[in-house]
Each structure stands twice: as structure tokens, then as C-alpha cells.
């Protein structure tokens, strides 16, 4: 199980590799793009999970530099799928999801760590709530630098604790689990295209499936960013998101989106502020990070204009 396996052809359908034996209850798919140090810490946290034998862990590794071989050697209980670098995170997730064998598939990323009851909380939530997708909280474990606070508040502030369990229009990509049968039926074509999770979630909701947010399922974001690294990452995410929204749309509709995009920077900045103020946590960090958050919010105007 520890030997690296070649990545699937992303142009294919949703076929899976079946390894035989008893199917796990949970498949954990990790997109690995940040190097061995990050994925090793992530896997050590999964190694400490209660009931680890109930889950399979699939690492789709695209950071290169021999990371796939090191993972296979140091964590032989994980399935390693090498992929050519660089590779977008949604494509890596899609490869892993199509390899999954469990009825519940959860996606996370290599910059995340977990409490020892993470597996238990995911499985308990799916037993209690028959929803297609269940997401959880994302807490910040990278607190030393202001740019990391800004990146966290920008990316995951809406999933910061506390919040009440309930239906949600959005779920966090690094902490979301799906009923595999529903996901493949409703969004198999999107998996083949390797799109971001927001597009998949929009499809599920359009088909009448409910997305559920559960505060007991917690991951800890632990990524250190350079300013230009995060700026570039957000730009390309926004370009992808905008391109998906206007794909095959007439020029009149595209012009409308560009005009409306003028309102997006202040709207997103307000959302970043509101996420902190309503929770009454990290207000000092928010105030210090406002200049960076304004820059990150301003990227939305450029994204829509160039989509």
C-alpha cells in the first residue's frame, strides 16, 4: 500500500481503483502541493486519529522533489498517488476522489492538522444528518505573521468558530466530506474537469441537495505564506471562479458581471470584518491586517475584468 501509484488520466470519467478486501468507512483525500514538511505533519496528525483503521488515506502528491517516495517510505499505511507538478489542487482532489473506496469521502489539504477525534466527528455527522455534503470549521494555527492572519481571515474566516450547526450555502474545501454515491451521480462530470469545490457545491444545491455545516468537525490551518505567494494564489482562484461563472455566457452577461465587480472589493472586505466582529475573536489581528485584506479583496475586480 505504501508504493506510489501513477495518477489517473484527468480526462477520464469517475472510474475508481478497487483494491479488494474490506472497504473502509471513510476515505481521506489530501492534495499535496507544499512539500514534504507540510504533508508529513498532516499525516502525523492523521496517524494519531482514534479508529484510524476505519479510514483509508489517499495522498495525491504534486510538490515533487522526491516527496512521493518519502511519504511512501515514512507512512506506509497511506496510498500515495504521484502527479506531475505543478497541478491545480482541484485536479488533485478529483484524482483522489476517483480512487476512493469508502461511502464517505473527505477532502483536505497538506497544510491542515487535526484533533484526534476528527474521523469520529465526520462519521458521526453523516450518521446523524443524511446530507450530500457536510463541512466543518477551519481554525488558524499559523499566528506568528500578519500576512498569515490576513490569508486565514480572507480564505477561511467564514468557517471560524463559533458558529451554529445548520444548512449552509458554502463549505470549506479543506474540511468537507461527501456521500460518494451522490457526489458521483450529481457531479461526476465536474470531477473529471477538476473544478473548485464551490462549483461542485453549487451543482449539488441546484439538484436539491442540502449542504450542512457542523462545528464539531474541526481542522487547523497551518500554512506560512509569502505575500506574493498568497496574492498569486488568490488571483488564480478568482480567475478560475470568474471564468466558470461566465463560461459560454454572451458578451452582454459578461459586461454585466464586470460592471457589478466594481462592488465586490468593499463587499468582500466587509465580509472579512463581519466574520471577526460577530464572533468577537481576533479583533486586534483583524485591525492590523486590514491593509492586506483590502489588497486581497481588490483582486476580485481584476479577476472579473480579465475572465
Only one residue has cell 464539531, namely: 216
Query: pLDDT category, 241, cuts 50, 70, 90?
Result: low
CA distance 293 to 278: 17
pLDDT surpassing 70 at residue 182: yes
pLDDT at 239: 55
What pLDDT band is residue 244 in, cutting at 50, 70 and 90? low
Reported as type and span, the H/E element at residue 109 is: strand 104-109
More confident residue, 182 or 268: 182
Lowest mean pLDDT among 37-41, 172-176, 242-246: 242-246
CA distance 189 to 31: 19
**DSSP conformation letters of 213-275:** EEEEEEEEE-----HHHHHHHHHHHHHHHHHHHHTT--HHHHHHHHHHGGGHHHHHHHHHHHH
pLDDT digits (tens, 9 = 90+) for 262-295: 667 788 899 999 999 999 999 999 999 999 998 8
pLDDT value of position 128: 95
Widest distance between CA atoms in the chain:
56
Confidence of residue 214 (pLDDT cuts 50, 70, 90): very high
pLDDT category at 148 given cuts 50, 70, 90 is: very high
- For 293, the 3-state DSSP assignment is helix
Average of per-residue pLDDT across 48-74: 94
Mean pLDDT of the chain: 86
- Report yes or no: 238 and 155 within 8 Å, Cβ to Cβ: no
For residue 20, the model assigns a pLDDT of 45
Domain segments of the chain as ranges: 227-302
Alpha-carbon distance values, 241 to 21, 54, 202, 280 (Å): 39, 35, 12, 30
Q: Where are the alpha helices (DSSP H) in the chain?
A: 36-47, 67-74, 89-99, 118-128, 146-156, 180-193, 197-206, 227-246, 251-260, 264-277, 283-306
Q: Which residues contact 195 (CB under 8 A, 6 or more apart)?
A: 90, 240, 244
* Residue 251 pLDDT: 63
Higher-pLDDT residue of 194 and 230 is 194
pLDDT at 157 exceeding the cut of 90 = yes
Average pLDDT over residues 199-218: 96
Predicted pLDDT at 267: 84
Residue 202's pLDDT band, with cuts at 50, 70 and 90, is: very high
By DSSP bridging, strand 211-221 and strand 133-140 are parallel
Q: C-alpha 189: how far from its chain's center? A: 19
Q: Report how far residue 160's alpha carbon sits from residue 172's, in angstroms, rounded to the nearest whole number.
A: 10
pTM for the whole thing?
0.85
Cell matching residue 35: 512539500
pLDDT at res. 307? 45
Q: Looking at per-residue confidence, does 213 or 257 come out higher?
A: 213
pLDDT reported for residue 25: 97
Amino acid at each position: 500500500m505504501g508504493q506510489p501509484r501513477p495518477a489517473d488520466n484527468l480526462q477520464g470519467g469517475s472510474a475508481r481503483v478497487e483494491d479488494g478486501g474490506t472497504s473502509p468507512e471513510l476515505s481521506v483525500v489530501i492534495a499535496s502541493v507544499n512539500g514534504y514538511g507540510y504533508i508529513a505533519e498532516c499525516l502525523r496528525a492523521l496517524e494519531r486519529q482514534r479508529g484510524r483503521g476505519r479510514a483509508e488515506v489517499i495522498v495525491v502528491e504534486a510538490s515533487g522533489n522526491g516527496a512521493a517516495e518519502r511519504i511512501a517510505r515514512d507512512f506506509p499505511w497511506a496510498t500515495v498517488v504521484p502527479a506531475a507538478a505543478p497541478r491545480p489542487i482541484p485536479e488533485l482532489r478529483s484524482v483522489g476522489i476517483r480512487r476512493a473506496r469508502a461511502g464517505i469521502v473527505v477532502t483536505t489539504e497538506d497544510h491542515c492538522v487535526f484533533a484526534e477525534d476528527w474521523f469520529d466527528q465526520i462519521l458521526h455527522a453523516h450518521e446523524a444528518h443524511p446530507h450530500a455534503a457536510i463541512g466543518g470549521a477551519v481554525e488558524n494555527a499559523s499566528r506568528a505573521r500578519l500576512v498569515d492572519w490576513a490569508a486565514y481571515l480572507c480564505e477561511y474566516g467564514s468557517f471560524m468558530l463559533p458558529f451554529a450547526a445548520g444548512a449552509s450555502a458554502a463549505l470549506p474545501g479543506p474540511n468537507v466530506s461527501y456521500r460518494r454515491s451522490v457526489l458521483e451521480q450529481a457531479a461526476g462530470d465536474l470531477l473529471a474537469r477538476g473544478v473548485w469545490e464551490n462549483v461542485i457545491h453549487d451543482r449539488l444545491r441546484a439538484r436539491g441537495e442540502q449542504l450542512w455545516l457542523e462545528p464539531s468537525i474541526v481542522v487547523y490551518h497551518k500554512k506560512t505564506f509569502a505575500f506574493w505567494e498568497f496574492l498569486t494564489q488568490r488571483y488564480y482562484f478568482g480567475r478560475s471562479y470568474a471564468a466558470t461563472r461566465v463560461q459560454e455566457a454572451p458578451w452582454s452577461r459578461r459586461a454585466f458581471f464586470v460592471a457589478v465587480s466594481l462592488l465586490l472589493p468593499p463587499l468582500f472586505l466587509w465580509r472579512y470584518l463581519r466574520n471577526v466582529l460577530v464572533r468577537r475573536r481576533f479583533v486586534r489581528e483583524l485591525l492590523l491586517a486590514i491593509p492586506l485584506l483590502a489588497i486581497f479583496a481588490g483582486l476580485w475586480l481584476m479577476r472579473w475584468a480579465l475572465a
